[in-house]
């Protein structure tokens, strides 16, 4: 006989270990509404204080996965792979990674999200492309994944609905930062997509949600252990987010940056290293390549040959975008009315930047949301961001501000200049790939 919801809460509150059946029954109640909002909040707080071991977290993830529809791709006969990033500024890796991997053979049914806090959202970026449909019918989604190899869309109401309710309550009860609940929230949606393998990009630095190395490693370890425990081959890269990853931040600007990358114009950058390292992890996990060196070489070949750009073009067109989008992006991506440069305040080297605040500046320009119903201005943001370590002369542009009008652009120019530090000596070099968790 199942425990009453309050008894499950009491058991966890007192530090007890919940059985899979108890967790499943509780999550069933979250889904069908028989567990009240107060009980969900109490469960979240009890978990925040008492934690969960790996087996409990696996059970929670699976129960949330099974609260709605789960996708099955077995008829396709190809590896089903995906990646997830914990979010940062100028992190448009998904846009390039999906077509690169698809061009190498696996299928990538990528279910992505909108911007959260200071971080940009993959769906918001794609919606800067006229006609792009982030909510295709299930039949069209499957057909595009089969024929193109990849499709990046939004979460449907039928995928992991328990997570949607639980997250909304966590958001207003100060329990968002519980590692077991973060783990189950991320993985339940990914597992519902029917993945066979998953690569995680866990950000660390002043532009990420996590700034403490030990906390970042704890989350990465939890995600990897629980996903593997749930039957999905998973690894994680901990990557640096102490500066924007791409040289642009803003929706249309990051799509433009994506096209430049797929045309081979960003080789050797920090962005390139994260894309290639993630691609290598995905191809090895999918069984396409025997080891990382071979996998990266394959990813580089499909990039250099134009095959990845072709897949991106096909995906955009099949999801409602223009057939000639990659050939004529200037025709389709709206430009901000006011574009002005941010001058260096002095001679020297760019030594640091307040990355989170750069993300907040994009939101202030209208490129993100402060409320769920806010309308996004896809035109605005920052571009031509110089990487840390660059030697500059006074007055030289260190970034461009793209704004809705001249007065907003000029005000933002002063703000951006104040977020960048210029020193006499170059900063110590930091690796962009900090560590790997398996």
Is 344 in the same domain as 414?
yes
276 shares a domain with 387: no
Same domain, yes or no: 260 and 305: yes
Among residues 12, 24, 65, 83, which one is catalytic? Answer: 83
Catalytic-labelled residue, pool 50, 85, 112, 383:
85
Same domain, 124 and 85: yes
The answer to whether residue 65 is domain-embedded is: no
- pLDDT number for residue 113: 77
Please identify which of the residues 114, 142, 164, 170 carries the catalytic annotation.
170
Residue 434 counted as domain residue: no
pLDDT in tens, 83-138: 999 889 999 999 999 999 999 999 999 988 776 667 778 999 999 999 999 999 99
189 an active-site residue?
yes
Tell me: do 352 and 232 sit in the same domain. Answer: no
125 is catalytic: no
- Report yes or no on 388 lying in a domain: yes
428 domain-assigned: no
pLDDT at 233: 96
Residue 15 lies in a domain: yes
Q: What is the mean pLDDT of residues 219-239?
A: 96
Q: What number of CA atoms fall less than 13 Å from residue 144's CA on the CB side?
A: 28
Domain-located, residue 263: yes
Q: Which tens digits make up the pLDDT trace of 197-210?
A: 999 999 999 999 88
Task: Based on the fold, state whether residues 282 and 391 are members of the same structural domain.
Answer: no
Quick one: 396 and 355 in the same domain?
A: yes
Residue whose entry in the numeric block shows the structure tokens 């999801």: 319
CATH of the domain at 415: 3.90.1170.30
The residue among 292, 318, 344 that closes a domain is 318
Q: Which domain CATH number covers 21?
A: 1.20.970.10
CB 245 within 8 A of CB 251: no
Q: What sign for the dihedral angle of Cα 294, 298, 304, 305?
A: positive
| Integer CA distances (angstroms), 187 to 81, 193, 203, in order | 13, 10, 16
Q: State mean pLDDT over 426-434.
A: 95
Whether 391 is catalytic: no
Number of domains, the chain = 3
Do residue 313 and residue 342 come from a single domain? Answer: no
- 85 catalytic per annotation: yes
Q: Is 345 a catalytic residue?
A: no
- pLDDT score of 260 more than 90: yes
Say whether pLDDT at 416 is over 70: yes
Note the pLDDT tens digit of each residue in 326-384.
Answer: 999 999 999 999 999 999 999 999 999 999 999 999 999 999 876 666 789 999 999 99
Sheet with 420-423: strands ordered across: 391-392, 348-353, 420-423
Looking at the structure, do residues 302 and 384 belong to the same domain, yes or no?
A: no
pLDDT tens digits along 39-82: 999 999 999 999 999 999 999 999 999 999 999 999 999 999 99
Annotated catalytic residue: which of 12, 24, 65, 84? 84
User: Above 60 in pLDDT, residue 1?
Assistant: no
Same domain, 306 and 342: no
Domain extent, residue 21, equals 5-51
* Same domain as 276, residue 308: yes
CB atoms within 10 A of CB 51: 14
pLDDT of residue 41: 95
318 tagged catalytic: no
- Residue 182 falls inside a structural domain: no
**The predicted structure's pLDDT at residue 167:** 86
Is 164 one of the annotated active-site residues of the chain? no
Return the pLDDT at 210.
84
Q: Rounded to an integer, what distance in angstroms lies between the CA atom of residue 254 and that of residue 94?
A: 11
Catalytic member of 24, 125, 142, 190: 190
Examine the fold and report which residue of 318, 352, 386 is the final residue of a domain before the chain moves on.
Answer: 318
Check if 178 is active-site.
no
In a shared domain, residues 350 and 416: yes
Determine which one of 67, 119, 122, 208 is catalytic: 122
pLDDT, tens digit (0-9, with 9 covering 90-100), for 274-305: 999 999 999 999 999 999 999 999 999 999 99
Q: CA-CA distance, 284 to 399, in Å (whole number)?
A: 37
Q: What percent of the chain has pLDDT over 70?
A: 98
**Average pLDDT of the chain to the nearest whole number:** 94
pTM: 0.92
DSSP letter, residue 249: B
- Predicted local distance difference test score (pLDDT) of residue 117: 65
SS3 string of 224-243?
A: HHHHHHCCCEEEEEEEECCC
Catalytic residue among 114, 142, 189, 300: 189
Digit-coded pLDDT (tens) for 305-327: 999 999 999 999 999 999 999 99
- What mean pLDDT is predicted for residues 18-32? 96
Q: Which residue is catalytic, options 25, 66, 82, 124?
A: 82
Show the tokens assigned to 384: 């031509």
* Domain of residue 252, CATH code: 3.40.1030.10
């Amino acid at each position: 006989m199942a425990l009453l919801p309050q008894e499950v809460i009491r058991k966890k509150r007192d530090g007890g270990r919940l059985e899979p059946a108890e967790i499943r029954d509780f999550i069933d109640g979250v889904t069908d509404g028989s567990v009240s909002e107060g009980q969900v909040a109490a469960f979240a707080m009890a978990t925040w204080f008492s934690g969960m071991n790996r087996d409990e977290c696996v059970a929670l993830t699976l129960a949330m996965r099974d609260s709605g529809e789960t996708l099955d791709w077995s008829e396709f006969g190809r590896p089903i792979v995906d990646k997830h990033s914990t979010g940062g500024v100028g992190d448009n890796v998904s846009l390039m990674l999906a077509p690169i991997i698809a061009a190498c053979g696996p299928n990538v049914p990528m279910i992505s999200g909108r911007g959260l806090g200071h971080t940009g959202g993959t769906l918001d970026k794609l919606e800067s492309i006229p006609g792009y449909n982030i909510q295709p019918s299930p039949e069209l989604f499957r057909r595009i994944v089969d024929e193109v190899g990849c499709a990046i869309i939004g979460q449907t109401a039928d995928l992991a609905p328990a997570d949607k309710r639980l997250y909304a309550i966590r958001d207003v009860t100060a329990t968002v930062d519980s590692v077991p609940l973060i783990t189950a929230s991320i993985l339940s949606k990914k597992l519902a997509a029917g993945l066979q393998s998953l690569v995680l990009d866990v950000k660390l630095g002043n532009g990420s949600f996590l700034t403490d190395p030990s906390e970042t490693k704890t989350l990465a370890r939890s995600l990897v252990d629980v996903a593997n425990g749930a039957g999905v081959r998973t690894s994680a890269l901990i990557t640096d987010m102490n500066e924007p990853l791409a040289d642009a931040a803003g929706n249309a600007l990051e799509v433009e940056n994506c096209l430049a990358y797929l045309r081979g114009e960003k080789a050797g950058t920090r962005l390139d290293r994260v894309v290639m390292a993630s691609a290598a992890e995905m191809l090895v996990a999918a069984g396409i390549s025997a080891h990382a060196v071979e996998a990266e070489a394959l990813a580089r070949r499909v990039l250099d040959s134009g095959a990845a750009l072709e897949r991106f073009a096909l995906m955009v067109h099949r999801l409602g975008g223009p057939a000639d989008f990659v050939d004529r992006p200037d025709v389709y991506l709206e430009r901000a009315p006011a574009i002005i440069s941010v001058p260096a305040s002095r001679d020297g080297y760019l030594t640091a930047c307040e990355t989170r605040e750069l993300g907040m500046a994009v939101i202030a320009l209208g490129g993100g949301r402060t409320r769920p119903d806010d309308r996004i201005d896809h035109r605005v943001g920052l571009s031509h961001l110089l990487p840390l370590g660059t030697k500059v002369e006074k007055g030289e542009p260190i970034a461009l501000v793209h704004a809705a009008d001249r007065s907003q652009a000029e005000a933002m120019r002063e703000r951006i200049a104040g977020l960048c530090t210029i020193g006499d000596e170059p900063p110590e070099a930091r690796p962009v790939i900090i560590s790997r968790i398996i």
